[in-house]
Amino acid sequence: MSIKVLIFAEQKEGKLSNSSFELISAAKKIGGEIITTCLGENVDGITRDLANRGGGKVLAITNPALRYFNDDIYAKVLSSLISKYQPQIVLGAATFYGKALFARLAAICNGAMASDVTGIRLEGNNVTITRPTYGGNVIVDLAATGERPFIITVRPKIFEESRDGSGEVISESIDSALFVSKASVKEMVVESGQSINLTEADIIVTAGRGIRGPENLQLVQGLADSLGAALGASRAIVDAGWISYSQQIGQTGKTVNPKLYVAVGISGAIQHLVGMQTSKTIVAINRDKDAPIFNIATYGIVGDLFEMVPALTAKFQASK
pLDDT digits (tens, 9 = 90+) for 37-84: 999 999 988 999 999 999 999 999 999 999 999 999 999 999 999 999
Residue 192 has pLDDT above 60, yes or no: no
Q: Do the domain assignments include residue 53? A: yes
* Torsion sign over Cα 61, 63, 67, 73: negative
Domain boundary residue, one of 131, 146, 179: 179
Average confidence score pLDDT of the chain: 93
Quote the CA–CA distance of 307 and 320 in Å, as a whole number: 21
Same domain, yes or no: 175 and 231: no
Report the pLDDT value the prediction gives residue 219, as an integer from 0 to 100: 97
Looking up residue 87, the CATH number of its domain turns out to be 3.40.50.620
Report the pLDDT value the prediction gives residue 1, as an integer from 0 to 100: 53
Cα 48 → chain centroid = 22
Query: Could you read off the pLDDT of 78-116 as tens digits, one per residue?
Result: 999 999 999 999 999 999 899 999 999 999 999 999 999
- Helix residue ranges, H only, 53-170: 71-85, 96-109
Identify the DSSP state of 225.
Answer: H
Q: Into how many domains does the chain fold?
A: 2
| pLDDT mean over 163-175 | 93
Q: Do the domain assignments include residue 87? A: yes
- Helix residue ranges, H only, 247-301: 270-273
Looking up residue 294, the CATH number of its domain turns out to be 3.40.50.1220
Q: Do the domain assignments include residue 185? A: no
> Residue 75 is part of which domain span?
4-179
Q: Do the domain assignments include residue 193? A: no
Same domain, yes or no: 77 and 14: yes
User: pTM, whole model, 2 decimals?
Assistant: 0.87
Q: Up-side HSE of residue 210: CA atoms within 13 Å toward CB?
A: 25
SS3 22: helix
Same domain, yes or no: 138 and 215: no
Report the pLDDT value the prediction gives residue 195, as an integer from 0 to 100: 65
